[in-house]
Amino acid sequence: MASTTVFTIANQKGGVGKTTTAVNLAAALAEQKVPTLLIDLDPQANATSGLGIEKEEGRSVYPVLLGEGNIEDMVVETGRKNLYLLTSETDLAAAEIELAQQEDYLLQLKNALAPLFESGQYRAVVIDCPPALGMLSMNSLAAADYLLVALQCEYLALEGLGQILSVVDRLHEAGVNEELQVGGIIMTMFDVRTNLSREVVEEVRTNLPDQIFNTVIPRTIRLSEAPSFGQSIFEYDKSNPGATAYRNLAKEVIKRFELKKK
């Protein structure tokens, strides 16, 4: 049976291209024939709407986090080959409080996802987290094999990098997820017109050479527009530099983590 690799894309700072990366990396992996499940764990549900999927109350990751419903029934087909979605809904915001009242509160997502992995249907799972290190994000990290950090090419973004990376050590020490590893840092919103973007990328490459991905995601208007049409960048503008970048990132991810294709 093929194994499933779980990636959490997280950053406690908003507006860094996290959801854009989750949606387009998942779509790119699917395009590369890697059966992929995208999990929208953000109550804003931007990953859900970004694929043009309607939110449906009661059919999301929310009830299964609370031990209700069958998770296999919650998975939605996106209409794209090899790409599946576990949607979010606004009520998921309440889970931040409700999860804290449960036993093994950090392991609820991991336990809920377990039945999905038994069949080996998915080779990759990509989880989009809220822009905060709250209960939902911590559940995501507890369920993941690898943390992928979406990091905007600005100096202020660097300030929070140490904090998100230290969470991995804390989860190890607490015995919550001793297998979790930092899978890599994805530099986003790179502006070719500025020295600042190049300087930030160079600083990360100098200090964390083994963790930064070679692919840098450019800032493009088309990448920003695609979610409003419910499309990945590959559907909206397949020749856009953003589409090329996410394809290259997917190839790096496949190679680095030895993901198996269908």
Query: What domains can be seen in the chain, in order of their start residue?
Result: 5-256 (3.40.50.300)
Q: What is the per-residue pLDDT across 128-168, written as a single tens digit (0 to 9) for each? A: 999 989 999 999 999 999 999 999 998 888 888 888 899 99
Pick 118 or 187 by higher pLDDT: 187
CA distances from 179 to 112, 141, 168 (A): 18, 10, 10
Q: What is the per-residue pLDDT across 6-54, written as a single tens digit (0 to 9) for each? A: 999 998 887 889 999 999 999 999 999 999 999 999 999 999 999 999 9
The reported pLDDT for the residue numbered 155 is: 86
Cβ count near 191 (within 10 Å): 14
Residue 233 in this model has a pLDDT that exceeds 90: yes
The angle, 0 to 180 degrees and rounded to 10, between the axes of the packed helices 241-257 and 18-31 is: 70
Average pLDDT over residues 175-190: 96
Distance, CA of 208 to CA of 204 (rounded, Å): 6
* 88 close to 42: Cβ distance less than 8 angstroms: yes
The reported pLDDT for the residue numbered 1 is: 47
